[in-house]
Amino acid sequence: MSEGPPAEPVLITPRLRLRPFVEADWPAYAAMCADAEVMRHIGAGGPQSKEDAWRTMATFLGHWALCGYGMYALEHRESGLLLGRVGYLDPPGWPGFELGWLLAREHWGHGYAREAAAAALRHAFEHMRRERVISLIRPGNQRSIAIAEALGEQLHGEIEMLGGTALVYEALCR
């Protein structure tokens, strides 16, 4: 009998909890994904329907089941609010093991993405033994570029994917 997929680790920072998505996250996640400004630099660059947000959450959970790693729901520890997502993607055909992040607009500017991404990057290097982590960022996404650079990632090049150019920022395990 199979033991099933490994349990997703929960990462804790001073203000945040990175944990698996649950069904109760759907309304807040769908609202975030319906915001055109939030989604401007993600995928094809447009908002998602409520149903597409559900499928995206299911994809994140499936990534955990199939690969043993994936995207975390980003929760504020004190309030329990879903702030966004941060974590790893590397489906077949992807250019590398990616660390990505996305926050609801009302939570921008508080350092949450940087705090969560730093914890996830540390986890990738120290516990997952990754040698290289990339972040794929659209050229006009200055907020994400600033986060990548604050994490110590450096611009490694650019690629075409999902209908547009993506900058490849890279961090190497030291």
- pLDDT of res. 128: 94
- pLDDT of res. 127: 94
The CATH architecture of the domain made up of 11-130 is 3-Layer(aba) Sandwich (3.40)
- pLDDT of res. 162: 83
Residue ranges of domains in the chain: 11-130
Answer whether 0.85 is exceeded by the pTM: yes
- pLDDT of res. 4: 46
Calpha distance 80→82 (Å, rounded): 7
Q: What is the mean pLDDT of each run of 10 residues along the chain (174 residues)?
A: 58 97 96 95 89 95 92 97 97 94 96 98 96 96 96 96 91 90
